[in-house]
């Protein structure tokens, strides 16, 4: 299933992606217009993954039923940002701080501990951003 079909069929599109040159602007007007008018869009990843002005228009012009956004290209969100003028009944904005909750801190601590123990066992960490470095790391060990 390609992205266009997924967008056309999904009731909820929840974006969870790393920001890279390839994913910057991943969701824009074209993608939002492919979604059903009853669909919801969620971005809790990175603001730069989406065209934020297009998300605001999608909500206001009812291309989609609504959106919830927890990550912005610029934080704090500027007062003149398009999200600030979007329909607050259809666009939920939350501060990007899920990791600051007690549960988030525990999860991050557990993940960090797992990675440290893996390296101690001579294994590469599971969440390596630059996997090409693993070969170099193994040569040093």
Structure confidence by residue, pLDDT tens digits, 21-70: 999 999 999 999 999 999 999 998 999 999 999 999 999 999 999 999 99
Residue 86, SS3 per DSSP: coil
List the chain domain ranges.
Answer: 3-96, 99-140
Q: Give the confidence band of 119 by pLDDT, cuts at 50, 70, 90.
A: confident
Q: Please state, rounded to an integer, the average pLDDT across all residues of the chain.
A: 89
Enumerate the active-site residues. 46, 75, 96
CB contact set of 8 (below 8 Å; sequence gap of 6+) = 34, 35, 36
CATH for 3-96 is 3.40.50.720
**Tokens linked to 99:** 């990791």
């Amino acid at each position: 299933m390609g992205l266009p079909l997924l967008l056309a069929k999904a009731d909820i599109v929840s974006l969870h992606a790393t920001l890279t040159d390839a994913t910057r602007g991943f969701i824009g007007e074209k993608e939002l217009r492919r979604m059903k008018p009853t669909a919801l869009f969620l971005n809790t990843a990175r603001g730069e993954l989406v065209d934020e002005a297009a998300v605001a228009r999608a909500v206001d012009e009812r291309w989609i039923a609504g959106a919830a956004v927890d990550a912005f290209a610029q934080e704090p969100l500027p007062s003149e940002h398009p999200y600030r003028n979007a329909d607050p009944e259809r666009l939920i904005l939350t501060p990007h701080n899920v990791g600051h909750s007690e549960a988030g801190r525990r999860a991050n601590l557990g993940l960090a501990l797992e990675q440290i123990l893996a390296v101690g066992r001579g294994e590469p960490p599971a969440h390596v951003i630059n996997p090409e470095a693993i070969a170099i790391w193994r040569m040093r060990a």
